[in-house]
Structure 1
Amino acid sequence: MFDKVMISAVVIGLSTSMAFAGGPIAPVLDAEPAAAPVVASAPAWTGGYIGGNVNFGKGKLKAAGDLADLLSEIGEDNGVSLGRTQAKPDGVSGALRAGYDWQMGKGVLGLGAEYNIGTYKSGLDGIFGEALEFEGGDAEVRIKNTATIFARAGYLFNDNLLAYGLVGYTRAKGEVSATIDGFSESGSDTLKGTTFGVGAEYKVNANWSAYAEYAYTDFGDISGTDGNFEAELSQVKLGANYRF
């Protein structure tokens, strides 16, 4: 009985002391620092770029319309094929390129422009080349000052590899010069046509990418020839872009 009274007195005494002292001390907890706001970054392929490429181009100057029909008729009458291609200007050249891309998920859309600083050239082929050679003359056909504006759309197979197709509008200068018996003649025309292409681009790092591309341009009928000649151009390109 005495023990119970003593224990009760001790408990009451401790409770009273704690009450006068301000009660039990609450534990102090360290507040966690506020999280920094997350700023959304632009997708990796969104932005502008400048670059260039080395390319191999091969053009064709072809007979068309009434001239193509005439050559076919002459060939049939003589049991030979005269063909339509009268020249194949080709060569290795370089081009400058710039553009801007927008990434949307796995898709990439872009606009760009390219200027070819070189010239594709060759002599005359076919019946006209043979006739000129028979007369002791020669000729040269050139495609130069090729400029293209284009739009492209692509799909990202992974963060670094983009496969794309493009469509654009191309202008170029076509020239023909011939010499026979010491006399020279030349002429030129502006070639205009639609360009289609496919390619793949790979991001080497945040700023640099490399690409391979094939492009075909149909210039259609050459003005001033009454629809008797038409031209086209195919190009294979290997290039690099600096992206910013």
Structure 2
Amino acid sequence: MKPVITALALAAAYTAGAAQAADLPSQKAAPIAPQLTLPAFSWTGLYAGLDIGGGLLAGGASNGGVSGGGLVGYNHQIGPAFVVGLETDFSGTSLAGGGRGTDPLGLRPPEGPRSLPWFGTVRGRFGVTGFDSRVLLYGAGGFAYGETGGRISEGWTVGGGVEWAFAPKWSAKTEYLYTDLGKNGGREGGASRGADFHTVRVGVNYHFDLPMLASARR
């Protein structure tokens, strides 16, 4: 009789243990959070923007001044890392200062007081995105024009900057330019009326998502 009772007791204990184990929550592996990867940004397309900054006339006595204006440009991205483009801008300024006297060797004529009410540029751009598709490091150079001493002068400009796409259609930039307006400015009383100057400016650009460029910007 004892063997029978013992077997029944063992069977009951096993059944109770199995039922208790069935009631326990299942031990599943913790889910792995998906990795969020931002899509690569494409710089291809038309854009327009505004900028503001300051400048300084080179040489002579200068108090410098501020500048501000607008721009329009177009970029084309070549592969994942290179960007070429064309940009034109126009700025009003308060740059003014005294001119240069005659240099000791007499190689450069004297300059009277200089002012630069406005200037504009048409520049080619070449940039690289490098470590982040949303950060563009670029150089720029090309044609420049402006009013110096009451006359229109022409010349050239060169510089560079960095631009950051902080939103799908918006970017911010910091840029430096050296500009030399030395042609067609004329002279008054033997004094040259050209000007060369430095500008540093910050700006924001809006990138247009045109239908013909939508596939290229994705």
Normalised by the shorter chain, which TM-score bucket? Answer: 0.5 to 0.7
Of 162, 169, 189, the match for 1:200: 162
Equivalent residue pairs, number = 156
AA aligned to 1:146 is F
Q: TM-score, normalised by structure 2?
A: 0.64
Provide the rounded CA distance (Å) in 1 between the counterparts of 2:190 and 2:53: 30
Per the alignment, in what secondary structure is the counterpart of residue 142 of structure 2? strand
Q: TM-score, normalised by structure 1?
A: 0.58
Q: 1:119 offset after TM fit, Å?
A: 2.8
Could you say which residue in structure 1 is the equivalent of 2:49? 51
Say whether 1:236 aligns with 2:209.
Answer: no
Provide the rounded CA distance (Å) in 2 between the counterparts of 1:199 and 1:55: 13
Say whether 1:145 aligns with 2:121.
Answer: no
Are residues 140 and 163 of structure 1, via their aligned partners in 2, closer, same or farther at CA, if it must alter by over 3 Å?
A: same
Say whether 1:113 aligns with 2:76.
Answer: no
- Aligned runs of 1:92-241 on 2, under 5 Å? 92-105=66-79, 106-122=81-97, 124=98, 141-157=114-130, 158-175=132-149, 188-220=150-182, 222-224=185-187, 229=192, 230-241=194-205
Query: Is the Cα–Cα contact under 8 Å of residues 180 and 195 in structure 2 kept in the other structure?
Result: yes
Structure 1 residue ranges, 4+ long, deviating more than 4 angstroms after superposition: 125-128, 225-228
Provide the rounded CA distance (Å) in 2 between the counterparts of 1:160 and 1:140: 44
Query: Is the Cα–Cα contact under 8 Å of residues 89 and 141 in structure 1 kept in the other structure?
Result: no
Q: 1:120 offset after TM fit, Å?
A: 1.3
Provide the rounded CA distance (Å) in 2 between the counterparts of 1:101 and 1:54: 21
Query: Is the Cα–Cα contact under 8 Å of residues 43 and 103 in structure 1 kept in the other structure?
Result: no
Q: Give per-residue Cα distances to partners, 1:49-84, cap 9 Å, x unaligned.
A: 110111111113xxxxxxxxxxxxxxxxxxxxxxxx
Are residues 194 and 125 of structure 1, via their aligned partners in 2, closer, same or farther at CA, if it must alter by over 3 Å?
A: closer
Provide the rounded CA distance (Å) in 2 between the counterparts of 1:111 and 1:214: 17
Query: Is the Cα–Cα contact under 8 Å of residues 99 and 114 in structure 2 kept in the other structure?
Result: no
Provide the rounded CA distance (Å) in 1 between the counterparts of 2:86 and 2:145: 17
Provide the rounded CA distance (Å) in 2 between the counterparts of 1:125 and 1:217: 17
Taking only the aligned residue pairs, the percentage that are identical comes to 30
Query: Is the Cα–Cα contact under 8 Å of residues 68 and 93 in structure 2 kept in the other structure?
Result: yes
Query: Is the Cα–Cα contact under 8 Å of residues 89 and 142 in structure 1 kept in the other structure?
Result: no
Unaligned 5+ segments in structure 2 are 1-39, 103-111, 209-218
Q: 1:125 offset after TM fit, Å?
A: 5.7
Q: 1:86 offset after TM fit, Å?
A: 3.5
Could you say which residue in structure 1 is the equivalent of 2:65? 91
Query: Is the Cα–Cα contact under 8 Å of residues 211 and 240 in structure 1 kept in the other structure?
Result: yes
Unaligned 5+ segments in structure 1 are 1-41, 61-84, 129-138, 176-187
AA aligned to 2:157 is T
Query: Is the Cα–Cα contact under 8 Å of residues 117 and 146 in structure 1 kept in the other structure?
Result: yes
Q: 1:141 offset after TM fit, Å?
A: 2.9
Provide the rounded CA distance (Å) in 1 between the counterparts of 2:73 and 2:178: 20
Are residues 103 and 141 of structure 1, via their aligned partners in 2, closer, same or farther at CA, if it must alter by over 3 Å?
A: same
Are residues 100 and 215 of structure 1, via their aligned partners in 2, closer, same or farther at CA, if it must alter by over 3 Å?
A: same
Q: Give per-residue Cα distances to partners, 1:64-110, cap 9 Å, x unaligned.
A: xxxxxxxxxxxxxxxxxxxxx43426211211011010001110011
AA aligned to 1:165 is G
AA aligned to 2:147 is K
Per the alignment, in what secondary structure is the counterpart of residue 45 of structure 1? coil
